[in-house]
Amino acid sequence: MRRQRKAKILATLGPASSTPEMIQALFEAGADVFRFNFSHGTHADHQERYRIVREVERKVGRPIAILADLQGPKLRIGQFAEGKVTLIAGQEFMLDRDPTLGNSERVCLPHPELFEVIAAGQSLLLDDGKLRLQVQDSDGQRIRTRVVNGGALSDRKGVNVPDAVLPIPALTEKDKRDLAFALEMGVDWIALSFVQRPEDVLEAKALIGDRAWVLSKLEKPAALDQLDAIVQVSDAIMVARGDLGVELPPERVPGVQKRILRVCRQHGKPVVIATQMLESMITMPVPTRAEASDVASAIYDGSDAVMLSAESASGAYPLEAVEMMNRIITEVEQDPLYRNLLDAQQATPLPNRSDAICSALRDVTRIVGAKATLTYTSSGHTSLRAARERPIAPIVSITPKLSTARRLAMVWGVHSTISDQVHNESEMVKAACETAFKEGFAQAGDQIAITAGMPFGQPGSTNLLRLAEIWPR
């Protein structure tokens, strides 16, 4: 089964999408990657969904990626004596370290690290930005604020701090337990929430090793200050517009999204656009026109993938949401303007052999009209570099490693396949021609372009480009 599009779809699994029948239907409708949200559900829930996805993978004969999304260090206020209060604009309100139940004048903030960095003039956003407090002063035990935007505030609502880099670990104790479980299960990608610094990514990678690839979720303005460094140490990036849209003024989010996309393209790192893409389809069978345009814009901008959250996890129309996203992507990619925009956004190749070969590959496939680009890869590096160039011809990735094939399911334009290890160039050409023909990408007489690294099996050694013709069967 091959997709007739290049951008990929991530679908979050949850109560609305946990049966074998629904998960297979979501894959057939267009989902390439399934996201397990560790902010919700039990380990037993995720284990059962994992089993089902792997069974679907076996049935369809196509590698499917699974992404474990860790909750991260979410800040929350404590509880109120009456469950909720109403804050009035202009009043004073205190956040302190006293664990007793709060009232309309104060509430506990059980995060001592925050008291060390907060300063007068900074803002605190509560309940996804619905309420805004301005800090007057802090003495290490209490933060005195004045309410700028008031409203109802209830127990355990989230706190966002857009003006400070918080001295909190990227992985909480819960995250570490969830990470160990996810890796033992065998997931392909780990998503890190609230990444602020490249050190956050390196800390996680030290625990993960080569057992999964790491996707960094950018949802804190502080991450933008070290964007280039974070992208370099990550395997992929997610523009997580939920918390990012709370901590940044809404009018800045589109420009930030485009900036992140440009940096990821430059470094050849996959980028996922997420949050509220088809939000109305949680309760409605069709999206708003604005939502359809949002998905389309992400594709026109060259995103590797777009993601569904509650739409597929807990909404009333999970299958319809995936089908709609599939149709939007397909429509955009058939527009001649899409190719023009991709070409206009093309990043200058980096001065190394891999980029030189893959840049030439892009030109060669266009000049000779190659029907497919075949990439031999062990680590996934060759396929990633080919995808960075956004060639016209589909990228058929051939790898002997199932783990690599699954991880590449998130990458733009890559059709992942698994084959035996090849030992020389003639074996490589023969296997490439057979794969292109068998997978439906080329017919007898068609040209294909092949790229690989020699010696075979050595990561990051892309140094070969070869043209071949499919012989009659």
Strand ranges in 199-289 using DSSP code E only, listed in sequence order? 213-218, 236-240, 271-274
Give the tokens for residue 228: 């280039």
Q: Are 159 and 115 in contact (CB under 8 A)?
A: no
Token readout for 44 is: 């037993």
Please say if 35 is a catalytic residue: yes
Strand ranges in 241-380 using DSSP code E only, listed in sequence order: 271-274, 305-308, 372-376
Out of 6, 132, 205, 217, which one is annotated catalytic?
217
Instruction: Report how far residue 84's alpha carbon sits from residue 102's, in angstroms, rounded to the nearest whole number.
Output: 9
Burial environment of residue 306 by CB neighbours within 10 A (0 to 12, 13 to 18, 19 or more): buried
Distances (CA, A) of 10 to 27, 197, 235, 427: 10, 25, 16, 35
Catalytic residue among 132, 157, 265, 275: 275
Q: What is the DSSP letter of 303?
A: -
Among residues 54, 76, 262, 353, the one annotated as catalytic is 76
Contacts of 345 (CB under 8 A, 6+ apart): 262, 265, 301, 302
Q: Is 283 a catalytic residue?
A: no
Q: Is 473 a catalytic residue?
A: no
Q: Is 383 exposed, middle or buried (CB count within 10 Å of its CB: 0-12, 13-18, 19+)?
A: buried
CA distance 451 to 462: 7
Q: Compute how many other C-beta atoms are within 10 angstroms of the C-beta atom of residue 414.
A: 28
Residue 217 annotated in active site: yes
Measured in degrees and rounded to the nearest 5, phi and psi for residue 408 equal: -70, -10
Indicate which residue of 5, 6, 8, 35 is catalytic: 35
The rounded Cα 28 to chain-centroid distance in angstroms is 21
**3-state class of 458 per DSSP?**
coil
Query: Could you give the angle at the alpha carbon of 170 between the alpha carbons of 166 and 176, nearest 5°?
Result: 145
CB contact at 8 A, 10 and 415: no
The residues annotated as belonging to the active site are 35, 76, 217, 275
